Structure 1
Amino acid sequence: MDAQPNENVITPAVVAQSLSFEGYMNLVREAVAQEKTTGAEQSAFLAQLTKDNLAIMERTYQTPLQPELVTLVQELPQAQLWLVLTEGWCGDAAVHVPVLAALADQSDKVELRTILRTEQPAVMDAYLTNGGKSIPKLIALDAETLTPLGSWGPRPQVLQEYVLDLKKQELPMLEFIKKALGYSEADNGHALQAELRELLPQWTRAARA
């Protein structure tokens, strides 16, 4: 995971342009209805991926949440804003963002908001992964000051390693996407939630610093 930026690019203006998860889902549904995707980059291929992802998103929002993780978000000492860089065509976002949203829904200490990668290039450039604009990217912030507390993404480490190995096989794009997505869906949110159990205490300590 790349280092946090020295200067906070997430301003109140950026947050004002963000959408709730429900608003993001409606944006994706509207894009699918128009045979499009979200954001500025448009193609028939991305539109088809977005259509496929919509069903995945509606399913993964129902992913069982680990009780100990729910307790962690409910007992946070300070309110956090979870700002997520995403797009409708992204399979990793379809698998993981709904789980993050469902978890945030369990706590009045966490608000999840979404921004589009293509519409917030400065934020994306500040939170690269190995130099790449990988999404989804969750940025945890102090809800009052917007001070960054930490970040997560684009996928759990175990899934990241699988994808990196998959890339070495130089598969056709559709086959690569199908395999990567299938592996992530089979995990059913376990790896993500395990990592969040480790990260939340770190973010809490950062909020107190």
Structure 2
Amino acid sequence: MEANPNVITPEVVAQGLSFSQYMDQVREAVAQNRTTGLEQSRLLADVTKNNVPIMERTYQTPLLPELVNLVQNLPTSMIWLVLTEGWCGDAAQNVPILASIAEHSPNITFKTILRSEHPEVMDAYLTNGGKSIPKLICLDARTLQPLGSWGPRPQVLQEAILPLKKSDLHILETIRLAQEISDADQGHSLQKELLTFIPAWVQAAQSL
């Protein structure tokens, strides 16, 4: 579901954090036995603590050479605005890879915002009616016009993980199994999808 461009204002973008700032925010929350954002619980604090080493590891994920070449040669400037939270397992697996990809391009500005602090943006980018994160929103850097979105996980992993989330498993077991599936993929499916998504976003920018 695409958002009204007015939902993402210059003020929203200005509030966004770089990936390193976001990591600092997550680590600070962990140091305070909290999670990020407005939703707080012991469970969310615990899974946020567990997510930090996952984020540090996935940030080092090897990138496909063809994807690096694609973003290095983008003909248009983009903002990648990512809805996330420190407690989210899918965000721990995918946001660091997205940040690493963006860092290879002089034409991508990477920003993160928290789902709980920007409900109007989240409500504009629902996944099957749900507030699933992470959600990457690609914006034209000049106009903030949305060019497309991605998330919360690659389609092949969505098909594998969604049944777990609908099962009667304990939440911690669901998280563990979902993490195993994502770990086995090693960011490959995300990168393969972006090889298709990014050219479509470029085309959308060029048609503005």
Q: CA deviation at 1:5?
A: 2.4
Q: Determine the structure 2 residue equivalent to 1:42.
A: 40
TM-score (norm 2): 0.97
Of 148, 151, 173, 2:149 maps to: 151
Q: Within 5 Å, which residues of 2 pair with 1:183-194?
A: 183-194=181-192
What is the aligned-residue identity percentage? 65
1:104 touches 1:112 (CA, 8 Å); kept in 2? yes
Which secondary structure does the structure 1 equivalent of 2:86 belong to? coil
Determine whether 1:24 maps to 2:22: yes
Q: CA deviation at 1:16?
A: 1.1
- Paired amino acid for 1:23: Q
Which secondary structure does the structure 2 equivalent of 1:45 belong to? helix
Q: Distance in 2 between matches of 1:43 and 1:125?
A: 23
Pairwise CA RMSD: 0.9
Q: Determine the structure 2 residue equivalent to 1:13.
A: 11
- Cα 1:168–1:34 change in 2 (3 A) is closer
Q: Determine the structure 1 residue equivalent to 2:64.
A: 66
Of 75, 90, 93, 1:92 maps to: 90
Where has structure 1 moved over 3 Å in runs of 4 or more? none
Q: Determine the structure 1 residue equivalent to 2:130.
A: 132
Q: Within 5 Å, which residues of 2 pair with 1:169-180?
A: 169-180=167-178
Listed one character per residue, the Cα deviations across residues 60-85 of structure 1 (whole Å, up to 9, x for unaligned) are: 00000000001111111111000000
Q: CA deviation at 1:163?
A: 1.3
TM-score (norm 1): 0.97
Listed one character per residue, the Cα deviations across residues 80-134 of structure 1 (whole Å, up to 9, x for unaligned) are: 0000000000000000000000010111011110000000000000000000000
- Paired amino acid for 2:133: I
- Paired amino acid for 1:191: S
The gaps in structure 2 that reach 5 residues or longer are none
- Paired amino acid for 1:153: G
- Cα 1:191–1:36 change in 2 (3 A) is same
